[in-house]
Amino acid sequence: MKTFDEALSYLVSQAKKTQKTQILPIQEALGKVLASPVVSDVNVPPHDNSQMDGYAINLLDLTHEDTFHVSQRIPAGSEPASLELGTVARIFTGAPIPAEANAVIMQEETEQVGDKVKITAKATRPGQNIRHIGEDIEVGRVVFEKGHRLRAEDLGLIASIGIREVSVYQPLKIATFTTGDELLEPGDRPEKGKIYNANRYVLAGAVPQLGFELIDLGRVKDTLEDTIEAMKQAAKVGDVVMTTGGVSVGEEDHIKPAIESLGKLDMWKVKMKPGKPLAFGDIEGTPFIGLPGNPVSAFATFNLFARSYLLRMQGVKEICITPLWLEADFDWPKANFRREFARAKLKVDETQNKTVVELFPNQGSGVLTSAVWAEGFAVIPEDTTITKGDKVAFYAFNDMI
Amino acid sequence: MKTFDEALSYLVSQAKKTQKTQILPIQEALGKVLASPVVSDVNVPPHDNSQMDGYAINLLDLTHEDTFHVSQRIPAGSEPASLELGTVARIFTGAPIPAEANAVIMQEETEQVGDKVKITAKATRPGQNIRHIGEDIEVGRVVFEKGHRLRAEDLGLIASIGIREVSVYQPLKIATFTTGDELLEPGDRPEKGKIYNANRYVLAGAVPQLGFELIDLGRVKDTLEDTIEAMKQAAKVGDVVMTTGGVSVGEEDHIKPAIESLGKLDMWKVKMKPGKPLAFGDIEGTPFIGLPGNPVSAFATFNLFARSYLLRMQGVKEICITPLWLEADFDWPKANFRREFARAKLKVDETQNKTVVELFPNQGSGVLTSAVWAEGFAVIPEDTTITKGDKVAFYAFNDMI
């Protein structure tokens, strides 16, 4: 049996980064992974500019008088003349600071006096209300490294340095199919002894959410021949093949012999709960990941193992999730030699400015409602008990997307 | 000036829920909002079934002997006969428990002895390794309420109760356009006195990420006539019109008079930083939200105000974000009468099992790099100073999607 950490680091070490890249306009690049760094060749802001609507001034002039002629008007986007000394310039947010000016007085600290302007500000300092050239980004700076996954705010930053397109990795294609005579599809009439397929639909949501493309080859007859055929087909169309179920020690499973006839397969029992068994192999050169058939185990191993492997294949540099160390609002009296990933959510105690972790009452791994109720996993380390008030690591589902 | 809470609760109270619904197959419903509750008309699991590969037995028989004839074989998906007393049944994970059996002995606790099976388990109890009918979900249970936004695991749960399609609200259409002569589009040659449009691209990511459709009408000439025309067009094609910039008190802004000529406009200075000014209005019956032009302020007000308003219009019931109360790894010595949303990220101190909040060094609102560096907002309440070690509320960007 491998520990969780051993299994994860081995799996990630085996991930071969995709080589397929594409150029996309930034507005289509949300969630994509950069295949080249983004380097700025401009300064942001490109010039000293005003943070306020108000009046540009040279503060030295304020030592002599407080009421000034308005010698020019500088809207955003214009190119101002040098500030005539002894005067002020009307200026708007974002507009360039004229030469000779060294501060902006905000409108609310001025008064109109005839056709002149009186400065009523109590305190002033050089540079006030001015954003300086390059203050945000200087020419030559690596704004995002290769391997960064783009968020909405990142698209804005790339736009702000004038870049219209980025080089990103093409989304991985994850091929899957469903086997198992005991499975019905939603919409089918219930049948005694059969259960509805849940994993197929979890993957239909979870795979695109991570930015990958799901290729679902549908239902496959539960025979060795059909399973081998489907495996071959999946390995041809997908960058990765992923299935759920059929990898336990039971005799009814065709996934294992199918892979073994086409390539090689590692079967692991990982010291984690929920989660074992996990299978990892190779079908004629295409990697294979076999998740457990139990929906909670499939959900957990997808998020805790497959996610990291796939993101690494997709070229993502930072695949770790920042754990939240928070107080347990529960007791966990019985230590387990396996690491437990308990379905949990956060509860806020406003009066004490405290966020605590509470557990779903039934941690049985058959219960998919636990994953739906939960907002993340509370990690119970191996051979450990927890007493209410202890700190536990919480991995939020929202951070796994 | 409105407080943050006043502004937010007023804005949300004004949101009119969309009436447009559609029926979608569950595999296309990720991120959509339920327009009807999902009610189960099956039990999950549908029958008592085995959690393990092993042998089904009636434990009373174990009091007489420990080695048994295997009288039947029950794969998943089959319909077993009643268990013959004095025998065991070979059973596989997920397979129905035969009548008369009251426990499953896992394979690892048995031994093959000729054509019989010897039970080597040390302790047994009735019901062991059996998942009971309805244990996860009972017939009639409301699995998801109207107004729930569907995640990957939710799709799996809906599938597991045999439901193939759901009624959801059609995604809101958010119409936008860009004004402002000072703005260049990425790819344009730099020009003195002009800056690149960032907000358009933040919205291109942030709007679809929340499940809405962005209709970008492009650049509009910076005149009152063109702005009015664009507003009319946007109000016609969108469920909401949203723009950035052009709502400050400066004279160069046409957004304000354009809206006022077509409907009504509220201009707010909200006691928050970054963030003011915020505009909210109505264009011939279509709601209008005007975000600030400054990219950090636009990003903050989108996430802290517009998000809640739009989700409520989309029919989402739970729009609040659970704050994480964590230790500040910073001092905030200067109290402000406005609530500050400081760009922050989390840092883990592994040796102390502690997650702390650190701040971006430059909290100037011009600096979009702060939003990119950050993972969330640390909330500095009004008139409050913070000392390192104090608890602060952290709102994670990942929780805002």
pLDDT of B325 over the 90 cut: yes
Nearest CB to B201: which of A156, A183, A354? A156
What is the identity of the amino acid at A345? K
User: Which 8-state DSSP code applies to residue A2?
Assistant: B
pLDDT digits (tens, 9 = 90+) for B141-155: 999 999 999 999 999
- Residue B352's pLDDT is 84
Q: Identify which has the larger pLDDT, A209 or A252.
A: A209
Ranges of beta strands (E only) in B230-285 are 240-244, 263-268, 272-273, 278-283
- Residue A71's pLDDT is 96
C-alpha–C-alpha distance, residues B31 and B34, integer Å: 10
pLDDT digits (tens, 9 = 90+) for A317-348: 999 999 999 999 999 999 999 999 999 999 99
User: CB-based contact (8 Å) between A375 and chain B?
Assistant: yes
Give just the sign of the alpha carbon dihedral A359, A363, A365, A369: negative
Q: Cβ contacts (< 8 Å) between A324 and chain B: which residues?
A: 324, 326, 346, 355
The nearest CA of chain B is from the CA of A400 a distance in Å of 9
C-alpha–C-alpha distance, residues A125 and A128, integer Å: 6
Q: Identify which has the larger pLDDT, A142 or A248.
A: A142
pLDDT of B49 over the 80 cut: yes
C-alpha–C-alpha distance, residues B249 and A227, integer Å: 68
- Cβ separation A355–B322 shorter than 8 A: yes
Distances (CA, A) of B132 to A204, B50, B129, B393: 28, 9, 10, 42
pLDDT of A276 over the 80 cut: no
- What residues 105-164 of chain B have any CB closer than 8 A to a CB of chain A? 107, 131, 135-137, 143, 150-164
- Beta carbons within 10 angstroms of residue A154's beta carbon: 25
- Residue B366's pLDDT is 66
- Pair of tokens at residue B257: 């008079």
Q: pLDDT class for A245, splitting at 50, 70, 90?
A: confident
- What residues 167-206 of chain A have any CB closer than 8 A to a CB of chain B? 180-188, 190, 192-206
Length of chain A equals 401
Q: Cβ contacts (< 8 Å) between B379 and chain A: which residues?
A: none
- Cβ separation B153–A197 shorter than 8 A: no
- Cβ separation B353–A201 shorter than 8 A: no
Nearest CB to B136: which of A187, A346, A368? A368
The residue whose two tokens read 């197959």 is B25
Distances (CA, A) of B343 to B162, B200, B296, B303, B322: 44, 21, 10, 13, 17
Question: How many CB pairs below 8 Å do chains A and B form together?
Answer: 326
pLDDT of A209 over the 90 cut: yes
- Residue A91's pLDDT is 96
Q: Identify which has the larger pLDDT, A351 or B148.
A: B148
Mean pLDDT of A146-168: 97
pLDDT of B251 over the 50 cut: no
The nearest CA of chain A is from the CA of B10 a distance in Å of 22
The nearest CA of chain B is from the CA of A283 a distance in Å of 26
| Closest-CA residue of chain A to B300 | A153
pLDDT digits (tens, 9 = 90+) for B202-225: 999 999 999 999 999 999 988 899
The nearest CA of chain A is from the CA of B370 a distance in Å of 9
Q: Cβ contacts (< 8 Å) between A351 and chain B: which residues?
A: none
Residue B276 has phi, psi (to 5 degrees) of -70, 155
In B314-388, where does DSSP find H-type helix?
368-373
| Closest-CA residue of chain A to B45 | A195
pLDDT of A256 over the 90 cut: no
What is the identity of the amino acid at B265? L
Mean pLDDT of A77-104: 94
Distances (CA, A) of B121 to A391, B66, B69: 36, 10, 17
| Closest-CA residue of chain A to B48 | A193
User: Which 8-state DSSP code applies to residue A309?
Assistant: H
Q: Cβ contacts (< 8 Å) between A155 and chain B: which residues?
A: 201-202, 204-205
- Cβ separation A96–B46 shorter than 8 A: no
- Residue B230's pLDDT is 96
- Cβ separation A156–B368 shorter than 8 A: yes
User: CB-based contact (8 Å) between B401 and chain A?
Assistant: yes
pLDDT digits (tens, 9 = 90+) for B260-278: 999 998 888 899 998 877 8
Report helix angle A255-262 to A224-237, nearest 10: 60
pLDDT of A287 over the 70 cut: yes
- Cβ separation A160–B198 shorter than 8 A: yes
Interface test with A, best of B153, B363, B386 (most A CBs within 10 A): B153
Q: Cβ contacts (< 8 Å) between B299 and chain A: which residues?
A: 153, 156
User: Which 8-state DSSP code applies to residue A247?
Assistant: -
Query: Residue A51's closest CA among A78, A17, A76, A26?
Result: A76
Q: pLDDT class for B192, splitting at 50, 70, 90?
A: confident
Proportion of chain A above pLDDT 90, given as a percent: 78
Q: Cβ contacts (< 8 Å) between B143 and chain A: which residues?
A: 369
pLDDT of A266 over the 50 cut: yes
Q: Cβ contacts (< 8 Å) between B198 and chain A: which residues?
A: 156-157, 159-160
Collapsing DSSP to helix, strand or coil, A153 comes out as: helix
How many helices and strands, by DSSP H and E, does chain B display? 9, 26
The nearest CA of chain A is from the CA of B399 a distance in Å of 6
| Closest-CA residue of chain B to A31 | B205
| Closest-CA residue of chain B to A76 | B182
- Residue A250's pLDDT is 55
Nearest CB to A391: which of B45, B353, B401? B353
Q: pLDDT class for B227, splitting at 50, 70, 90?
A: very high
- Residue B365's pLDDT is 63
- Cβ separation A162–B186 shorter than 8 A: yes
The nearest CA of chain A is from the CA of B107 a distance in Å of 9
| Closest-CA residue of chain B to A370 | B136
- Cβ separation A156–B295 shorter than 8 A: yes
- Residue B18's pLDDT is 95
Query: Residue B120's closest CA among B105, B130, B102, B101?
Result: B105
Q: Which of A156-165, B113-122, B260-269 has the weakest average pLDDT?
A: B260-269
User: CB-based contact (8 Å) between A75 and chain B?
Assistant: yes
C-alpha–C-alpha distance, residues A290 and A255, integer Å: 8
pLDDT digits (tens, 9 = 90+) for B169-182: 999 999 999 988 88
Nearest CB to A93: which of B248, B324, B346? B248
Contacts 24+ apart (CB under 8 A), B4-8: B4/B270, B4/B271, B4/B272, B4/B304, B4/B339, B7/B268, B7/B270, B7/B272, B7/B278, B7/B305, B8/B304, B8/B305, B8/B308
Nearby residues of A65 by Cβ (< 8 Å), 6 or more positions away:
none
Provide the β-strand partners of residue B278. Answer: B268
- Cβ separation A51–B366 shorter than 8 A: yes
Nearby residues of B307 by Cβ (< 8 Å), 6 or more positions away:
B210, B319, B400
- What residues 336-365 of chain B have any CB closer than 8 A to a CB of chain A? 346, 348, 353-355, 362, 364
Output the average pLDDT for chain B.
Answer: 93
Which domains can be identified in chain B, with CATH numbers?
4-19+171-313 (3.40.980.10), 21-42+139-169 (3.90.105.10), 49-131 (2.170.190.11), 324-400 (2.40.340.10)
Interface test with B, best of A195, A299, A380 (most B CBs within 10 A): A195
Distances (CA, A) of A119 to A111, A125, B399: 7, 14, 45
ipTM, interface predicted TM-score of the complex = 0.88
pLDDT of B94 over the 60 cut: yes
C-alpha–C-alpha distance, residues B399 and A322, integer Å: 14
Q: Decide if A49 contacts A94 (C-beta within 8 A).
A: yes
Interface test with A, best of B174, B188, B195 (most A CBs within 10 A): B195
Q: Decide if A147 contacts A169 (C-beta within 8 A).
A: no
